[in-house]
Homo-oligomer: A and B are copies of this chain.
Amino acid sequence: MEERQISKAVIKRLPRYYRYLGEILNSGVERISSGELSSKMQVTASQIRQDLNNFGGFGQQGYGYNVKYLYDEIGKILGVNQVHPMIVIGGGNFGHALANYADFEKNGFVIKAIFDVREDMIGTSVRGIPVLMMDELESYLKKVDVEIAVLTLPKSKVKEVANQLIACGIKALWNFAHLDLDVPDDVVVENVHLVDSLMQLSYRITSYEKKEK
């Protein structure tokens, strides 16, 4: 039950480990030491070992880590060994782009439907994913098992829709709207704040130029 809380910083690094290990695996390498991985990834070997040991001992003294095994184990930790059915709310440009992006499926994130309010989208589909109307949402969620709802709708409507989704039992929101959602404890929200990301870039440009003067 009560597992030790893993820090956010560690979780944030896991997908990157997973990605590098996948590439190393594809290149046919069988084993790797924390030292080798360290130099590839530009993090310390110590950090790699500490991070991994939060979840258990995946390596072997004198040998290192078996790439395939470690890759799979990190996959399990991240939950990408399972299928995560998703729906996209908002059939605008962003919703379309996400639905068209095949990389998600490779990791088990499967978009089942797109919801929108625009009536001219009735009957359309994106890469085989049907576009449904928002008023069908609740009945849809009663029939179909959905784990993650992706929010790509206008800021003004997000809160209302999020509440509706939560009321229907959705426990995970991937939020692209530029606001913070206030949700119950058992609902997880991951934000993608593109404007914030751009501002951080802008800060770094500005501060770099300042330093040079």
Contact = CB atoms under 8 A, between A and B. Distances in A.
A107 B109 CA distance: 32
A20 to B, nearest CB: 9
A192 to B, nearest CB: 6
A193 B13 CA distance: 12
Interface stretch (A62-70, A156-164, A202-210): A202-210
A70 to B, nearest CB: 16
A205 B93 contact: no
B97 A195 contact: no
A51 interface: no
Interface string A175-213: 000111000001010101111111111111111101101
Interface stretch (A28-36, A74-82, A115-123, A130-138): A74-82
Contact of A19 (B2, B178, B208): B178
A148 B190 CA distance: 26
B174 A201 contact: yes
A104 interface: yes
A201 B97 contact: no
A126 to B, nearest CB: 9
A15 to B, nearest CB: 4
A49 interface: no
Contacts of A1: 211, 213
A207 B93 CA distance: 32
Given A93-B93, A104-B194, A190-B204, 11 more contacts: A11-B204, A77-B203, A78-B206, A80-B199, A92-B97, A93-B100, A171-B205, A172-B205, A188-B204, A190-B200, A192-B197
21 contacts: A3-B211, A11-B204, A14-B203, A15-B196, A16-B196, A19-B178, A79-B203, A84-B205, A93-B96, A93-B97, A93-B100, A94-B101, A96-B97, A98-B194, A104-B195, A171-B205, A172-B201, A174-B198, A174-B201, A186-B208, A190-B201
9 shortest interchain CB distances as A-B pairs: A93-B97, A79-B206, A15-B196, A190-B201, A79-B202, A15-B199, A188-B204, A97-B97, A94-B97
